[in-house]
Amino acid sequence: MIIQSSFTPAWWLRNRHAQTIWPNLFRRHPALPLIRERLELPDGDFIDLDWTAKNHNPIVLLLHGLEGNAESHYIKGLLNHLVQINFQAVTMHFRGCSGEVNRLPRAYHSGDTEDLAFVVKQLTTRFPDRPIYGIGFSLGGNVLLKWLGETIQANPLRAAVAVSVPFDLANAAQQLNQGSSRLYQAYLVRKLQRSLRLRLNNVTLPVDSTKALSCKTIREYDDCVTAPLHGFVSADDYYRKSSSRQFLSTIEIPSLIIHAQDDPFMTADAIPTAAELADKVTLELSARGGHVGFIEGYFPFKARYWLEQRISQFLIEQTTA
């Protein structure tokens, strides 16, 4: 099902780039103490989790975007909001994103659901009587939706939310190499290469490091690094197998997808149709909102972050259903 969003962009942030960039530059967050936990993975690597204060209420697992972490503006904002409404939240850092280089050559990618499955298994084993919800942003949303579609009825989550998902990775790679969106691409490629340099100092990687560190586009980087590190033949093979769009029809838990049609990370062609969605999947579309933006409000510096309100509304509805 596809529904129209209630989101109305702030009059001073109607441009898709303004919606995307504003919170990165100007949003400030109250200090929130987090508790770090390290999970050892079966292959010898590790995953770091950042928890809010313990309580006995439902648990919300957050998945960040490409090269994000618990300090990303959208994660910090939602963590603070979830604490206010008495959920316990935990951010799962993808490998190498928690501030410490991972041990093995493999890292993470848009289609890697193995680590997410392991983390959720640990949570359900440890807290069998507490509902667990999943929320993914951008790359994290693609991982979450793909896993939901892979596991079908066996998925242990109570419900899920995915925001600004690159449903079609090839489309996203192409769009990020067009016009103003190339600014985001340059920023992301620099972050990926910075992480790669750190890893090269600690781990021997089966990639051409000189070529990798000279990549200019996301596609070049995925062809040179992401694909060979994770068993794909090429970037195209990676995009084809890892895009979440093909998994939306088999999701069997209540899932809300929040997306803006003006998302600068992809074109409107990437947005799935109603026929591609399982019965329990709702795609909430707005004309504007940018990429993980969705900012309302009458005055600058008194912005209202609609996304957090909408996510919490959905979680409360699922908790009381």
Residue 92: CA atoms inside 13 Å, Cβ hemisphere, count? 32
Say whether pLDDT at 81 is over 80.
Answer: yes
Say whether pLDDT at 120 is over 80.
Answer: yes
The per-residue pLDDT for 299 is 85
248 Cβ contact list (under 8 Å, min separation 6): 145, 149, 167, 272, 276, 277, 278, 281
In the chain the first and final C-alpha atoms are separated, in Å, by: 19
What token pair was written down for 257? 């997808």
Give the mean pLDDT of the chain: 96
Q: Is the dihedral of CA 214, 215, 221, 224 positive or negative?
A: negative
DSSP conformational letter for 223: I
The per-residue pLDDT for 49 is 98
The per-residue pLDDT for 300 is 82
Domain boundaries, the chain: 2-167+248-320, 169-242
The per-residue pLDDT for 25 is 86
Mean pLDDT of 242-260: 98
**Helix-, strand-, coil-residue percentages of the chain, each rounded to 5:** 40, 15, 40
The per-residue pLDDT for 190 is 97
Residues 110, 286, 291, 312: which is the catalytic one?
291
138 annotated active-site: yes
The per-residue pLDDT for 320 is 84
What token pair was written down for 157? 């989550």
Q: Which fold has domain 2-167+248-320?
A: Rossmann fold (3.40.50)
Say whether pLDDT at 69 is over 90.
Answer: yes
Residues 138, 242, 243, 286: which is the catalytic one?
138
Say whether pLDDT at 203 is over 80.
Answer: yes
Mean pLDDT of 250-258: 98
Mean pLDDT of 308-315: 96
Strand positions, DSSP E, 99-212:
132-137, 159-163
Question: What percent of the chain has a predicted confidence (pLDDT) above 90?
Answer: 93
Say whether pLDDT at 202 is over 90.
Answer: no
Of the candidate ranges 77-81, 84-88, 200-204, 261-265, the one whose mean pLDDT is the lowest: 200-204
The per-residue pLDDT for 26 is 86
Residues 181, 263, 286, 312: which is the catalytic one?
263
214 annotated active-site: no
The per-residue pLDDT for 321 is 73
Mean pLDDT of 302-307: 93
Tens of pLDDT along 218-231?
Answer: 999 999 999 999 99
pTM for the whole thing? 0.97
Q: Is the dihedral of CA 276, 280, 281, 285 positive or negative?
A: positive
Rounded to an integer, what distance in angstroms lies between the CA atom of residue 248 and that of residue 269? 16
Of the candidate ranges 38-47, 81-90, 259-268, 297-306, the one whose mean pLDDT is the lowest: 297-306
The per-residue pLDDT for 289 is 97
Say whether pLDDT at 27 is over 90.
Answer: no
- Closest CA relative to residue 292, chosen from 29, 59, 16: 16
- Closest CA relative to residue 26, chosen from 41, 42, 45, 10: 10
The per-residue pLDDT for 302 is 85
Mutual angle of helices 306-320 and 73-84, in 10-degree steps: 50
Residue 309: CA atoms inside 13 Å, Cβ hemisphere, count? 11
The per-residue pLDDT for 137 is 98
What token pair was written down for 275? 């026929």
Say whether pLDDT at 180 is over 90.
Answer: yes
Say whether pLDDT at 102 is over 90.
Answer: yes
- Closest CA relative to residue 314, chosen from 256, 233, 248: 256
Cα-based angle 105, 184, 63 (whole degrees, multiple of 5): 55
The per-residue pLDDT for 31 is 82
